[in-house]
């Protein structure tokens, strides 16, 4: 993003684990207020719930078949790599409209930032310029 010269505004939870020193020069970090309600935190508006449900479903789909076979019961463990794969699959299954709707519900509104433009000309002036071309 630095090479593309894009400006980034990043909203983060006011948790001590969020390190703002790691943010690049073209990004601005804005922290949400401490102890704010879930109404202001977009990811708490159903996105986290959907992700957790999907993760638990995939975890059960992995472990339950192993528990049915006595020889595989000892292999019924989840290491970090397996957990990462489950997290990836769970996140991909979250519908893209869900985070967008959550941010909209929390008050984040999309706006288009456009450079200052000249005021539009009067429509009648344009019509008067066009009339001689028709005849």
Give residue limits of the domains in the chain. Answer: 1-36, 37-109
- pLDDT for the residue numbered 133: 43
pTM above 0.85, yes or no: no
Q: How does pLDDT run across 60-106, given as a tens digit for each residue?
A: 998 888 888 777 777 777 889 999 999 999 999 998 888 888 878 77
Between 119 and 54, the more confident residue is 54
Q: How does pLDDT run across 25-46, given as a tens digit for each residue?
A: 778 877 777 766 666 677 776 8
Name residue 10's beta-bridge partners. Answer: 29
Task: Measure the CA–CA gap between 107 and 101, rounded to whole angstroms.
Answer: 10
Task: Measure the CA–CA gap between 91 and 17, rounded to whole angstroms.
Answer: 22
């Amino acid at each position: 993003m630095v090479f593309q010269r894009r400006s980034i505004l990043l909203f983060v939870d006011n948790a001590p684990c969020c390190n703002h020193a790691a943010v690049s020069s073209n990004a601005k970090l804005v922290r949400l207020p401490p102890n704010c309600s879930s109404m202001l935190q977009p990811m708490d508006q159903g996105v986290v719930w959907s992700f957790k449900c999907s993760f638990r479903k995939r975890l059960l789909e992995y472990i339950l078949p192993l528990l049915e076979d006595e020889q595989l019961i000892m292999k019924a463990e989840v290491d970090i790599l397996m957990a990462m794969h489950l997290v990836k699959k769970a996140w991909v299954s979250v519908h893209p409209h869900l985070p967008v709707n959550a941010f909209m519900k929390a008050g984040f509104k999309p706006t288009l930032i456009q450079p200052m433009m000249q005021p539009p000309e009067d429509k009648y002036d344009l019509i008067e310029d066009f009339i001689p071309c028709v005849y």
